[in-house]
Chains A and B, each alone.
Chain A
Amino acid sequence: MGILSNNMISQLQSALNRTSLNQRLISQNIANVDTPNYKAEHISFNDHFQNSLKANRTEPQHIPFSNDNNYRVVEDQSTSMQNNGNNVDIDKEMASLAKNQIQYQTLVQLMNSQFSDIKTVIKGG
């Protein structure tokens, strides 16, 4: 394992990607809070489903397929919050907005501490 191809950093990277996708979904849900027949979208973690779709790589150095993420976007079709068929729950969305923001900042801080660790090693303390 190289010093920069650290497992922690790549994991943090995919977590940051997921958080920014979540941010986009929340933006979209709140933007469409008054749109008739709009259904809220959320990230769903569905490892089994994704694993069954995953292409089998015969050689580990092959480029992975883009579907190799273990999450996907789903629409919640089951409920209706308003008479116009819209099911955006504004309170829930605002709460997950705050949560998502804190999560993102935490991940960035962790990433920074990883980098500063590496810097310490390079400089020799």
Chain B
Amino acid sequence: MGIFNGLNISASALTAERVRMDVISSNIANANTTRAKLVNGKWQPYRRKDVELSTINNGFGHYLNNAMTSQGNTAGGVEVSKITEDPSPFKMVYQPNSPDADKNGYVKMPNVNPTKEMVDLISASRSYEANVTVLNASKGMLLKALEIGR
């Protein structure tokens, strides 16, 4: 159990939240992209991406630590375990003069919902701020500990 464990936990969360924000940026930037992937010679629109967060509590060191100390499982942080694609159907928009229109004049648009993305963005941003606060608190405690006996 290192001294900087608290800082490392907050740092892992900052990384994860930043990845989350990057994915949201990509979703919003590609909200109108109709040519993202070429499948069997046909262009497919952009599919909304989603992050999967999970606790870091795997590995031998973690279990050894748990067995040896009475302090329980405090080794974890958070990580982005997977970036998944949203399988929901594409939006069909009537645009007969678009080069991507099918024979009925409909264009497949990405399944990105801007409202949902904005809500997720705010949530990621707030989580990031909360973790910065914790990081500063941990840093303050470490600095205070240096003053013992001074």
User: What is the interface of chain A, defined by CB distance below 8 A to chain B?
Assistant: 16, 19-21, 23-28, 30-36, 38, 41, 66-67, 69, 72-74, 90, 94, 97-98, 100-101, 104-105, 108, 111-112, 115
Contacts and interface: CB of A to CB of B under 8 A. Distances in A.
Nearest to A108: B144
A73 B13 CA distance: 21
Given A23-B141, A101-B140, A112-B148, A30 B70 contact: no
Contact of B123 (A34, A69, A111): A34
A25 B55 CA distance: 13
Interface of B: 5-7, 9-10, 12-13, 16, 20, 53-55, 68-74, 76-78, 123-124, 127, 130-131, 133-134, 137-138, 140-141, 144-145, 147-150
A94 B130 CA distance: 8
Nearest to A68: B70
A35 B72 contact: no
Contact of A104 (B20, B78, B141, B150): B141
Contacts of A115: 148-149
Contacts of B130: 30, 33, 90, 94
Given A66-B70, A94-B133, A31 B77 contact: yes
Contacts of B12: 31
Given A32-B76, A94-B130, A105 B54 contact: no
Given A111-B148, A112-B149, A24 B55 contact: no
Given A36-B53, A41-B72, A72-B70, A112 B127 contact: no
Shortest beta-carbon contacts, A-B, top 9: A73-B72, A31-B13, A27-B9, A35-B53, A27-B6, A31-B78, A67-B70, A24-B6, A24-B74
B6 A97 contact: no
Interface centre among B55, B71, B76, B123, by most A CB within 10 Å?
B71
A104 B9 contact: no
Contact of A26 (B124, B134, B147): B134
Contacts of A72: 70-72
A97 B129 CA distance: 14
Given A20-B6, A72-B70, A73-B73, A97 B137 contact: yes
A48 B150 CA distance: 38
A19 B141 CA distance: 10
A21 B120 CA distance: 31
A73 to B, nearest CB: 3
B144 to A, nearest CB: 5
Contacts of A69: 70-71
